[in-house]
Amino acid sequence: MFLLRAGTTLLLLLVFAQSLGSPRSFSVDYQHDCFRKDGERFRYISGSIHYNRIPRVYWKDRLLKMYMAGLNAIQTYIPWNYHEMYPGQYNFSGDRDVEYFLKLAQDIGFLVILRPGPYICAEWDMGGLPAWLLKNKNIVLRSSDPDYITAVDKWMGKLLPMIKPYLYQNCGPIITVQVENEYGSYFACDYNYLRHLTKLFRSHLGEEVVLFTTDGASPGYLKCGALQDLYATVDFGPGGNVTAAFEAQRYAEPRGPLVNSEFYTGWLDNWGSPHAEVPTAVVAKSLNEILAMGANVNMYMFIGGTNFGYWNGANAPYKPQPTSYDYDAPLTEAGDLTKKYFAIQEVIKEYRKIPEGPILPSTPKYAYGAVVMKKLLTISDALDKLSFSGPVNSTNPLTFIELNQAFGYVLYRTTLPVNCTKPTPLSSPLNEVHDRAYVSVDGVSAGILERSKVIAINVTGNAGSQLDVLVENMGRINYGKDINDSKGLLSTLYLGTLPLTGWTMYSLSIDEAVSQGLLGDKEATPTDAPQPVALSPPTFYSGSFIIPDGIPDLPQDTYIKLPKWRKGQVWINGFNLGRYWPSRGPQVTLFVPANILSTAAPNNVTVLELEKAPCSAGPCTVEFTADPILNGPVYSDHKQRRRLFSKEDLL
C-alpha cells in the first residue's frame, strides 16, 4: 500500500516536472525580481564577443576560454552592414556565418543574449547600418521615416526567421533579444519607431521571447529608450556607485531582474588618443558588487577582437577608431589570457561553480622577422587596374555612395583653372572632406586635407595642371546624431575663392585588385627626379616571406609592424588586415591571424602607403613580431584621457 502510494506520487511528480520542463521556457519574473529558466530562478553572468571581429577558425578557442572563466552566457551584436553589403545581397558564409556561431556557443554550453539591431553602435562603421541607406539624402535613420522602415522590415524579414529556431523555447541558446540599442541616447526619441520594431520582432519571433532594451543608467537616457513590452536594462562601467546605477533601471522597471547589459571591462580607442586602460582591481570590485546584489551582468567586451578591413567606426566630432578593438578586455585582441581574466574568474567563483579542467593556453606567436618591400605603382599609375567601373564625370564632385562605393578610397581629378605661381589655398571651407584627402599637382604631393583638422593647404601650379585628390573613408560615425556620415568630397574644393568644377572620379576596387594580383610585382623603375622631402603620392609596395621549415606548429599568429611608415592599409595574401597609422598612434602593430598565412607558397604582403614610405635611404621593410604594441605614443592635440569612462565620454 505504502509502496504503491509512493510509486503513484513519483509518477505524478514526473508528469508534473515534465509539464514544467517541457516546453523549455525563459521569462521575466516580476514578482520575485529575477529571470526564470524552465521555471527555476536564473541569473546570467555573460560576456560580449563579436563574431564579426574574430576569424571563424578562432571562434571556438575564444568561446571555450570564456566558458572556463565561469560565464554561463555570451552576448553578440549582428551588424546589418556586414551581412547586406548591397541592397538585397546577403552574405552569411565563412566569417559571416552567424548560425554556425550560435550553434558553436550552444554546443559549448552557453546561453546567448542576441542584439540584432538594426542599429548596434559597437564602434562599428555607421553603427552597423548599411551605407547605402544614405542614397536617400533626406533619410532620417533610426526613426519612422518610411524609407528607413522599408529597408529595416526587409532586412529583419530575412534575419529574424533565420534566428527563430535558435530561441531557447525552440531548443536553441537564445534567451533574450535586444531591440535597437541605447535608443535613449539618440536625438529622434521616436516612440512609434520603437513600437514598430517591437511589433516586427514579435511577428517574426513570437510572443514568448523576452525582448529588451539597453540604455545609459540615468532617467534621462531611459526616457526615450524604454517602452512597454520591452524589458528595460541599463549599462554602466566600473568604479561608480552600483546601487545608484540600478536605481536608474528601477525608474523604468520597478520590478523584475536587475541587468547591466554593458559592464565596461575596458574602453574604446581613437587614433591620436592614448590607449584606454581600465585597472583590473576596479573592474573586479564593481563586478563583485553587481553580483552580490543578485544582478545579471554582461561584460562588454570579454574579448574585443579586430576591426579588419574598413570596419572601424568613429566618434563625433570626427575621431576614428583604430584597427584593433582590444578594448583592454580580459582576453586580448588575439584571445590571450590576462591578469584581468583571472581576476574576473576569481570573482565569479564566489557566486557560481566554475567548470573544472585546464584553460586553453594563449595561442603561440611567431616573429617571422623583416620583409623587404619593393615599390610598385602609385594609385594614379594603376588607375586602369583599380577602377573597374571606369571614370565618371560631373561638374561637382559626387560622394562615395553616389558612385556606389561604400568603403576605401576614391580618386577625384580635375585641373587647375588658373596659374597659381604663388602658394594658393586649396580648401573645403565647410569641412566637407570626408575624411582625409591626399592632394597632388601633376603627380607631385602638395599636402593633406583632414576632416576637422586641416581644411586648407597651399598649392602651386600652372593653369591646366592635373589636380589629384585621393579621398580616404576613415570609418563612419557610429554614435550620436551624425551617423548619417557621407564620404568623399561632400561639396567642391575651392582654389582661392574659385570653386573647382569639371571633376572626373575613379571609384577604386583596391581589395579586388590586390586579391586578384592585378598590381603585379614589377618593381617601379627608379627615377632621377629628386626624392620628395615631405610627402609622396599614395603608392603600393609589396614583399613576400616564407614560413620557415622544420619548426613545428607553424604558421602561428603574428603582428605586423611598419616602423617609419606613416599611414595606410595593409593586406596579406589579399586579406585586408586594416589601417596602420603609427605616426598618429597609439596602435603600432596589427594582429595577423595564422589562418591567413600559407606554408604552401610565399606569403604576399601588400601595403598602400598614403604619405611616405621609409624607402629613400636603402630598402624599406615591414616587420613581423611576436609582441603587440597598442599603447604607443600619440601625436595629436586631444585632451588627456581619464582612467574611467562612461557614456558622457562619447558626447
Ligand X SMILES: *[C@@H]1O[C@H](CO)[C@@H](O)[C@H](O)[C@H]1NC(C)=O
As annotated, the active-site residues are 182, 262
Taking the CB of residue 633, how many other CB atoms lie within 10 A of it? 11
CB 240, min distance to ligand X, A = 9
Are 459 and 424 in contact by the 8 Å Cβ rule? The answer is yes
Q: Which of 57, 463, 498, 546 binds ligand X (CB under 6 A)?
A: 463
CB 242, min distance to ligand X, A = 8
Q: Which of 9, 91, 150, 501 binds ligand X (CB under 6 A)?
A: 91
> Left if phi > 0, otherwise alpha if psi is -120 to 50, otherwise beta: which for 128?
left
| Residue least distant from ligand X (Cβ) | 94
Q: Which of 18, 31, 93, 525 binds ligand X (CB under 6 A)?
A: 93
Q: What's 306-358 look like in SS3?
A: ECCCCCECEECCCEECCCECCCCCCECCCCCECHHHHHHHHHHHCCCCCCCCC
Q: Does 476 bind ligand X (CB under 6 A)?
A: no
From 73-81, 190-198, 239-247, 326-334, give the range in contact with ligand X by CB under 6 A: 239-247
Q: Which of 8, 203, 404, 419 binds ligand X (CB under 6 A)?
A: 419
Taking each helix axis from N to C end, the angle separating 339-349 and 280-292, rounded to the nearest 10 degrees, works out to: 20
Cα–Cα distance, 150 to 196 (Å, whole number) = 11
List the helix and strand counts (H, then E) for the chain.
12, 33
Burial class (CB in 10 A: 0-12, 13-18, 19+), 623: middle
The dihedral over CA atoms of 97, 102, 105, 107, expressed in degrees to the nearest 10, equals: -100
Cα–Cα distance, 580 to 590 (Å, whole number) = 7
Q: Build a one-symbol-per-residue string for 376-395: x at contacts with ligand X by CB under 6 A, - elsewhere.
A: -----------------x--
Q: Does 456 bind ligand X (CB under 6 A)?
A: yes
Q: Does 423 bind ligand X (CB under 6 A)?
A: yes
Q: Does 8 bind ligand X (CB under 6 A)?
A: no
CB 494, min distance to ligand X, A = 13
Q: Does 396 bind ligand X (CB under 6 A)?
A: no
Q: Does 140 bind ligand X (CB under 6 A)?
A: yes
Is the omega angle on the peptide bond into residue 435 within 30 degrees of 0, that is, cis?
yes
Q: Does 95 bind ligand X (CB under 6 A)?
A: yes
Q: Which of 20, 372, 551, 601 binds ligand X (CB under 6 A)?
A: 601
Q: Which of 462, 501, 516, 616 binds ligand X (CB under 6 A)?
A: 462
- Could you tell me the CA-to-CA distances from 373 to 106, 522, 558, 608, 609 in Å, in that order? 45, 12, 18, 11, 12
Q: Which of 362, 504, 515, 583 binds ligand X (CB under 6 A)?
A: 504
Is the omega angle on the peptide bond into residue 116 within 30 degrees of 0, that is, cis?
no
Q: Does 501 bind ligand X (CB under 6 A)?
A: no
Q: Which of 18, 243, 525, 640 binds ligand X (CB under 6 A)?
A: 243
- Amino acid identity, position 537: P
Q: Which of 443, 602, 619, 633 binds ligand X (CB under 6 A)?
A: 602
From 210-218, 256-264, 348-356, 416-424, give the range in contact with ligand X by CB under 6 A: 416-424
**Closest alpha carbon to 204 in 165, 244, 243:** 165
Q: Does 96 bind ligand X (CB under 6 A)?
A: yes
Which of residues 116 and 309 has its CB atom nearest to ligand X in the complex?
Answer: 309
Q: Does 557 bind ligand X (CB under 6 A)?
A: no
CB 422, min distance to ligand X, A = 7
Q: Does 241 bind ligand X (CB under 6 A)?
A: yes
From 91-99, 300-308, 360-368, 607-615, give the range in contact with ligand X by CB under 6 A: 91-99
**Closest alpha carbon to 30 in 253, 297, 222, 228:** 253
- Could you tell me the CA-to-CA distances from 547 to 299, 315, 556, 589, 599 in Å, in that order? 37, 39, 9, 20, 6
Which of residues 168 and 541 has its CB atom nearest to ligand X in the complex?
Answer: 541
Contact set with ligand X (CB under 6 A): 91, 93-96, 140, 241, 243-244, 247, 393, 418-419, 423, 425, 456-458, 462-463, 484, 502, 504, 517, 573, 598, 601-604
